[in-house]
Amino acid sequence: MKLDLDDIKKMIDVSLLRSDVTVEEIKKFIEEIKKYRFMSCFVMPCYTKMLINAFKNDKDILVGGVVGFPTGADTTECKVKQVEEFINMGSSELDMVINIGYLKSGLYKEAEKDIKSVVRASRGYLLKVILEVSLLTDNEIKKGCEIVANSGAEFVKTGTGWTKIPTSLHHIEVIKEAICNKIKIKAAGGINSLNTFLEMYKLGVSRFGIGLNSAINILKEAENKLANSGYII
Protein backbone atom coordinates (compact mmCIF):
# COMPACT_ATOMS: atom_id res chain seq x y z
CA MET A 1 0.00 0.00 0.00
CA LYS A 2 1.27 3.47 -0.88
CA LEU A 3 1.05 6.13 1.81
CA ASP A 4 0.56 9.85 1.41
CA LEU A 5 0.81 12.56 4.05
CA ASP A 6 -2.90 12.38 4.89
CA ASP A 7 -2.60 8.62 5.46
CA ILE A 8 0.16 9.24 8.00
CA LYS A 9 -1.78 12.01 9.77
CA LYS A 10 -4.80 9.74 10.08
CA MET A 11 -2.76 7.09 11.89
CA ILE A 12 -1.36 9.46 14.51
CA ASP A 13 -2.85 10.21 17.91
CA VAL A 14 -0.94 13.17 19.32
CA SER A 15 -0.61 13.55 23.06
CA LEU A 16 0.44 15.99 25.74
CA LEU A 17 0.34 13.80 28.82
CA ARG A 18 2.86 15.20 31.28
CA SER A 19 1.74 15.90 34.82
CA ASP A 20 3.12 19.47 34.72
CA VAL A 21 1.43 20.65 31.52
CA THR A 22 0.17 24.23 31.67
CA VAL A 23 -2.94 25.77 30.14
CA GLU A 24 -0.76 27.80 27.79
CA GLU A 25 0.83 24.58 26.52
CA ILE A 26 -2.62 23.12 25.92
CA LYS A 27 -3.61 26.19 23.90
CA LYS A 28 -0.50 25.83 21.74
CA PHE A 29 -1.19 22.10 21.39
CA ILE A 30 -4.67 22.89 20.06
CA GLU A 31 -3.29 25.40 17.54
CA GLU A 32 -0.80 22.88 16.16
CA ILE A 33 -3.39 20.12 15.85
CA LYS A 34 -5.71 22.44 13.95
CA LYS A 35 -2.81 23.20 11.61
CA TYR A 36 -1.66 19.62 10.98
CA ARG A 37 -5.02 17.76 11.34
CA PHE A 38 -3.88 14.67 13.18
CA MET A 39 -6.36 11.83 13.73
CA SER A 40 -6.87 12.18 17.46
CA CYS A 41 -5.53 13.94 20.53
CA PHE A 42 -5.12 13.17 24.21
CA VAL A 43 -4.33 15.24 27.30
CA MET A 44 -4.59 14.62 31.03
CA PRO A 45 -8.23 14.26 32.15
CA CYS A 46 -8.62 17.75 33.65
CA TYR A 47 -7.96 19.28 30.21
CA THR A 48 -10.01 16.89 28.07
CA LYS A 49 -13.12 19.07 28.08
CA MET A 50 -10.97 21.99 26.89
CA LEU A 51 -9.97 19.95 23.82
CA ILE A 52 -13.54 18.83 23.16
CA ASN A 53 -14.71 22.44 23.14
CA ALA A 54 -11.81 23.49 20.91
CA PHE A 55 -12.53 20.82 18.27
CA LYS A 56 -16.34 20.75 18.41
CA ASN A 57 -16.51 22.05 14.82
CA ASP A 58 -13.59 19.93 13.56
CA LYS A 59 -15.29 16.63 12.77
CA ASP A 60 -12.08 15.11 11.37
CA ILE A 61 -10.23 15.46 14.71
CA LEU A 62 -11.15 13.10 17.53
CA VAL A 63 -10.60 13.76 21.22
CA GLY A 64 -9.81 10.77 23.42
CA GLY A 65 -9.90 10.16 27.14
CA VAL A 66 -7.21 8.34 29.16
CA VAL A 67 -8.58 5.83 31.65
CA GLY A 68 -6.57 4.58 34.63
CA PHE A 69 -3.63 6.55 33.30
CA PRO A 70 -0.69 6.08 33.69
CA THR A 71 -0.49 3.17 36.17
CA GLY A 72 -3.57 1.06 35.47
CA ALA A 73 -3.88 0.50 39.21
CA ASP A 74 -7.14 2.40 39.74
CA THR A 75 -10.07 0.33 40.96
CA THR A 76 -12.40 -0.97 38.28
CA GLU A 77 -15.13 1.26 39.68
CA CYS A 78 -12.93 4.33 39.20
CA LYS A 79 -12.15 3.32 35.61
CA VAL A 80 -15.83 2.84 34.85
CA LYS A 81 -16.66 6.26 36.30
CA GLN A 82 -13.91 7.82 34.21
CA VAL A 83 -15.34 6.23 31.06
CA GLU A 84 -18.81 7.51 31.86
CA GLU A 85 -17.46 11.01 32.49
CA PHE A 86 -15.46 11.08 29.24
CA ILE A 87 -18.42 9.88 27.18
CA ASN A 88 -20.77 12.38 28.82
CA MET A 89 -18.39 15.27 28.13
CA GLY A 90 -18.09 14.25 24.46
CA SER A 91 -14.95 12.13 24.03
CA SER A 92 -14.80 10.06 20.85
CA GLU A 93 -12.53 7.21 21.99
CA LEU A 94 -10.78 5.84 25.06
CA ASP A 95 -7.31 4.57 25.93
CA MET A 96 -7.17 2.59 29.17
CA VAL A 97 -4.24 1.05 31.02
CA ILE A 98 -4.47 -2.62 31.92
CA ASN A 99 -3.92 -3.44 35.59
CA ILE A 100 -0.21 -4.11 35.09
CA GLY A 101 0.25 -5.52 38.58
CA TYR A 102 -2.54 -8.03 38.06
CA LEU A 103 -0.96 -9.14 34.79
CA LYS A 104 2.50 -9.57 36.30
CA SER A 105 1.01 -11.39 39.31
CA GLY A 106 -0.73 -13.94 37.14
CA LEU A 107 -4.17 -12.61 38.12
CA TYR A 108 -5.41 -12.98 34.58
CA LYS A 109 -9.11 -13.35 35.35
CA GLU A 110 -9.02 -10.20 37.45
CA ALA A 111 -7.21 -8.26 34.71
CA GLU A 112 -9.69 -9.42 32.09
CA LYS A 113 -12.68 -8.64 34.30
CA ASP A 114 -11.34 -5.12 34.80
CA ILE A 115 -11.13 -4.54 31.04
CA LYS A 116 -14.52 -6.11 30.33
CA SER A 117 -16.13 -3.73 32.81
CA VAL A 118 -14.62 -0.81 30.92
CA VAL A 119 -15.74 -2.32 27.58
CA ARG A 120 -19.32 -2.48 28.85
CA ALA A 121 -19.16 1.07 30.18
CA SER A 122 -17.74 2.35 26.88
CA ARG A 123 -21.03 1.53 25.10
CA GLY A 124 -19.41 0.84 21.74
CA TYR A 125 -16.92 3.72 21.79
CA LEU A 126 -13.50 2.75 20.45
CA LEU A 127 -11.35 1.34 23.24
CA LYS A 128 -7.60 0.73 23.21
CA VAL A 129 -5.92 -1.13 26.06
CA ILE A 130 -2.36 -0.22 27.07
CA LEU A 131 -0.06 -3.04 28.20
CA GLU A 132 3.07 -1.00 29.04
CA VAL A 133 5.29 -3.51 27.27
CA SER A 134 8.56 -2.05 28.58
CA LEU A 135 7.63 -3.41 32.02
CA LEU A 136 6.71 -6.89 30.74
CA THR A 137 8.45 -10.06 29.60
CA ASP A 138 7.59 -11.48 26.18
CA ASN A 139 5.38 -14.09 27.82
CA GLU A 140 3.58 -11.42 29.81
CA ILE A 141 3.04 -9.41 26.62
CA LYS A 142 1.55 -12.46 24.92
CA LYS A 143 -0.75 -13.13 27.86
CA GLY A 144 -1.77 -9.48 27.97
CA CYS A 145 -2.65 -9.61 24.28
CA GLU A 146 -4.77 -12.69 24.87
CA ILE A 147 -6.61 -10.94 27.68
CA VAL A 148 -7.25 -7.82 25.61
CA ALA A 149 -8.43 -9.86 22.62
CA ASN A 150 -10.87 -11.75 24.84
CA SER A 151 -12.19 -8.58 26.46
CA GLY A 152 -13.89 -7.03 23.45
CA ALA A 153 -11.55 -4.05 23.09
CA GLU A 154 -10.60 -3.02 19.55
CA PHE A 155 -6.90 -2.29 20.04
CA VAL A 156 -3.95 -3.38 22.09
CA LYS A 157 -1.59 -0.46 22.72
CA THR A 158 2.07 -0.82 23.63
CA GLY A 159 2.67 1.89 26.20
CA THR A 160 1.80 5.12 27.98
CA GLY A 161 4.99 6.93 27.02
CA TRP A 162 5.78 7.39 30.72
CA THR A 163 8.60 4.84 30.92
CA LYS A 164 12.17 5.42 29.76
CA ILE A 165 12.27 2.33 27.54
CA PRO A 166 10.73 2.93 24.10
CA THR A 167 8.50 0.53 22.23
CA SER A 168 10.68 -1.56 19.91
CA LEU A 169 10.14 -3.52 16.73
CA HIS A 170 10.58 -6.66 18.81
CA HIS A 171 7.64 -5.65 20.99
CA ILE A 172 5.49 -5.22 17.87
CA GLU A 173 6.60 -8.60 16.52
CA VAL A 174 5.64 -10.31 19.79
CA ILE A 175 2.24 -8.61 19.79
CA LYS A 176 1.62 -9.38 16.12
CA GLU A 177 2.24 -13.07 16.68
CA ALA A 178 0.10 -13.13 19.81
CA ILE A 179 -3.02 -11.42 18.48
CA CYS A 180 -3.33 -13.44 15.25
CA ASN A 181 -5.10 -10.48 13.61
CA LYS A 182 -7.97 -10.66 16.13
CA ILE A 183 -7.49 -7.03 17.19
CA LYS A 184 -5.56 -4.00 15.98
CA ILE A 185 -2.27 -2.57 17.23
CA LYS A 186 -1.46 0.93 18.44
CA ALA A 187 2.22 1.66 19.08
CA ALA A 188 3.22 4.37 21.54
CA GLY A 189 6.33 5.28 23.49
CA GLY A 190 9.52 6.67 22.00
CA ILE A 191 8.40 6.73 18.35
CA ASN A 192 10.25 9.74 16.99
CA SER A 193 11.37 8.98 13.42
CA LEU A 194 9.74 8.23 10.08
CA ASN A 195 11.85 5.08 9.73
CA THR A 196 10.52 3.64 13.01
CA PHE A 197 6.98 4.64 12.04
CA LEU A 198 7.21 2.89 8.67
CA GLU A 199 8.86 -0.24 10.04
CA MET A 200 6.10 -0.60 12.62
CA TYR A 201 3.46 0.09 9.99
CA LYS A 202 4.88 -2.74 7.87
CA LEU A 203 4.51 -5.05 10.87
CA GLY A 204 0.82 -4.22 11.15
CA VAL A 205 0.53 -1.16 13.38
CA SER A 206 -2.43 0.99 12.29
CA ARG A 207 -2.44 3.70 14.98
CA PHE A 208 0.45 5.52 16.65
CA GLY A 209 0.54 7.49 19.89
CA ILE A 210 3.19 10.17 19.44
CA GLY A 211 4.13 13.39 21.22
CA LEU A 212 3.30 16.51 19.22
CA ASN A 213 6.87 17.57 18.40
CA SER A 214 7.85 14.07 17.27
CA ALA A 215 4.67 13.79 15.20
CA ILE A 216 5.42 17.06 13.41
CA ASN A 217 9.03 15.96 12.77
CA ILE A 218 7.79 12.67 11.30
CA LEU A 219 5.49 14.58 8.95
CA LYS A 220 8.37 16.80 7.85
CA GLU A 221 10.53 13.72 7.20
CA ALA A 222 7.70 12.27 5.13
CA GLU A 223 7.32 15.51 3.15
CA ASN A 224 11.06 15.52 2.39
CA LYS A 225 11.02 11.89 1.32
CA LEU A 226 8.01 12.50 -0.89
CA ALA A 227 9.69 15.50 -2.50
CA ASN A 228 12.99 13.70 -3.09
CA SER A 229 11.82 10.26 -4.21
CA GLY A 230 8.17 10.68 -5.10
CA TYR A 231 6.97 8.17 -2.51
CA ILE A 232 6.91 7.57 1.24
CA ILE A 233 6.68 3.80 1.25
In the predicted structure, residue 233 carries a pLDDT above the cut 90: no
Residues 102-116 have pLDDT tens digits of 999 999 999 999 999
Contacts of 86 (CB under 8 A, 6+ apart): 45, 48, 65, 67, 94
**186 is known as an active-site residue:** yes
DSSP state of 166: P
pLDDT exceeds 80 at position 76? yes
Which class is domain 5-229? alpha beta
Which band of pLDDT confidence, cut at 50, 70 and 90, is reported for residue 151? very high
Global pTM reads 0.96
* Residue 208: per-residue pLDDT: 98
CB 2 within 8 A of CB 226: no
Residue in 9, 13, 74, 95 annotated catalytic: 95
pLDDT for residue 75: 98
Give the model's confidence band at 1: pLDDT under 50 very low, under 70 low, under 90 confident, else very high: low
Contact status, residue 119 vs residue 151, Cβ threshold 8 Å = yes
Burial of residue 72, with CB atoms counted within 10 A of its CB: 0-12 exposed, 13-18 middle, 19 or more buried: buried
Q: What is the mean pLDDT of residues 116-139?
A: 98
Please identify which of the residues 9, 79, 143, 186 carries the catalytic annotation: 186
- Report the percentage of the chain scoring pLDDT > 70: 100
Determine how many CB atoms are found less than 10 A away from the CB of residue 104: 16
Which residue in 9, 128, 143, 157 is the catalytic one?
157
- Is residue 119 over pLDDT 90? yes
How high is the mean pLDDT of the chain? 97
Tell me the domain boundaries of the chain: 5-229
108-122 and 138-151 helices, crossing angle to 10°: 40
Range 32-44 average pLDDT: 98
The amino acid at residue 12 is: I
Check residue 230 and give its pLDDT: 84
| Torsion angle (degrees, nearest 10) of CA 207, 209, 212, 216 | -40
| CA angle, residues 201, 151, 70, in degrees to nearest 5 | 65
| pLDDT tens string 163-213 | 999 999 999 999 999 999 999 999 999 999 999 999 999 999 999 999 999
Q: How many CB atoms lie within 10 A of CB 213?
A: 12
Does the pLDDT at position 60 exceed 90? yes
Measured CA angle at 85 (ends 206, 32), to 5 deg: 50
How many angstroms from the chain centroid is the CA of residue 170? 18
Q: Categorize the per-residue pLDDT at 45 as very low, low, confident or very high, splitting at 50, 70 and 90.
A: very high
